[in-house]
Structure 1
């Protein structure tokens, strides 16, 4: 079974032109036509009398799983997963670093035929020491997983290809890719990542470049084609 997966930092619905336009994000999600999408920077504020994530799910036909990291009085903020596949369970894993913005891994278990897939959606911190701590925790979670497939997706905020966090993940997944996704209007940095285990199940990885994806957010979506043996 061939599936498409994607990671997309939607920048709270604010485009490269500085305008808040949730409909553009929904359009890009439609363009991706992915089976599972990991979202970052999801602002949980009201749109058309509903939550932003619920709005995106309703507009695009996905089931939404929320994983906020910042709990505010007015609105929450964080990660989310959109999926067309059946959800078995989900949990939020705190990987925060003291004194910095709270961060987490949203872990969602999905079922495909007789296989279990664990999706790990995350958005790492801005400081090197913070990311090193967070990737150590993620590697520990990866090592404990007994799922048939693991998909780690998100904005890792790591632009140094020789940095220790990327090397640790490369050691676990046995490969790496460096595809520029930021800034969306002229991509130079490979901040967004998509890692798959077993590695041979990943067929390809690419940035999704379209006229509207260059405007809808400050990141381009990252898209992977995977194969599941059923």
Structure 2
């Protein structure tokens, strides 16, 4: 199996300061042309947490569809602001589960199982102590899938090279490049971690003119092969 996967923090589709313009984020996703993309901050933060990325626009602009799951609220697209989009032919084969995470803030991860691959989309906490707890729990869950291909991907909220990411030692950590702040990226907040059973053939940052306006993060991508 060969796949192009990506991760993108949408910042509620409002760029650095506004306005709310989800068509820009969808254009960025279409430019990436992923088979699977893990998204963060797809919903507004307050109240009933309605979708910031309109479900009705996704298929038309990207050819992808959201994985079905129980969302935060009736009008939400995601759970804890996270969602996964996939090509329809892959969505038919995939199974997804939600993984509650510890920490000061309410956080969770989404684990997608397709074939021999477990892809976990993450949006870790703002406090380093919380991130350490969250990664420890995720790696412990991943270790139960010994021999399988496991991939963690998302907004790790950690700009240092390895500090705070010690729990990832059983996995191989990849940093495609600086992703934040999008107009002048300096910090590599978005990362990838993979198990030995997964071959990563290429990684990169989606650094287009539209991407620099559409969110406060740039997206990351990877091309992978299951051995």
TM-score grouping bracket, smaller chain normalisation = 0.7 to 0.9
- Asked whether the 8 Å contact 1:9–1:41 carries over to 2, the reply is yes
Cα displacement (A) at 1:128: 1.1
Task: Answer yes or no: is the 8 Å Cα contact 2:28–2:210 preserved in 1.
Answer: yes
Q: CA deviation at 1:198?
A: 2.8
**Which residue matches 2:98?**
92
Return closer, same or farther for 1:105/1:67 CA change in 2, 3 Å cut-off.
farther
Number of equivalenced pairs: 217
Measure the CA separation in 2 of the matches of 1:90 and 1:147: 19
Instruction: Tell me if the contact between 1:68 and 1:80 (Cα under 8 Å) persists in the aligned partners.
Output: no
Counterpart in the other structure of 1:168: 167
Kindly indicate which of the two structures has a greater share of residues assigned to strand: 1
Alignment-derived partner of residue 63 in structure 1: 65
Query: Are residues 74 and 174 of structure 1, via their aligned partners in 2, closer, same or farther at CA, if it must alter by over 3 Å?
Result: closer
Instruction: Assess if the C-alpha contact under 8 Å between 1:96 and 1:134 holds in 2.
Output: yes
Distance 2:218 2:24 in 1: 13
Instruction: For 2:28 and 2:99, locate their aligned partners in 1 and report how far apart those are by CA, in whole Å.
Output: 28
SS in structure 2 opposite 1:129? Answer: helix
TM-score under structure 1 length normalisation: 0.84
Q: Gaps (5+ residues) in structure 1? A: none
How far did 1:53 drift? Answer: 3.7
8 Å Cα contact 2:173-2:191 kept in structure 1: no
Counterpart for residue 46 of structure 2: none
Deviation readout 1:158-201 (Å, 9 max, x if unpaired): 1121313x2321x1113443621000000111110122223661
Secondary structure of the residue that 1:157 maps to in structure 2?
A: coil
Shift of 1:121: 0.6
Kindly report which structure 2 residues correspond to 1:49-198, keeping only aligned pairs within 5 A, or say none. Answer: 52-65=54-67, 71=72, 75=76, 77-84=80-87, 85-86=90-91, 87-97=93-103, 100-111=104-115, 116-146=116-146, 148-164=148-164, 166-169=165-168, 171-177=169-175, 179-198=177-196
Structure 2, unaligned runs of 5 or more: 44-48
From 28, 45, 50, give the equivalent of 1:45.
Answer: 50
Q: 1:152 to 1:53 in 2, by over 3 A?
A: farther
What TM-score do you get using the length of structure 2 for normalisation? 0.85
Cα RMSD (Å):
2.4
**Deviation digits for residues 57-101 of structure 1, max 9, x if unmatched?**
4431212126678x458756511111122443111010032xx32
Q: Residue 219 in 1 paired to residue 221 in 2?
A: no
Contact 1:45 1:52 in 2 (8 A): no
Contact 1:207/1:221 (<8 A) preserved:
yes
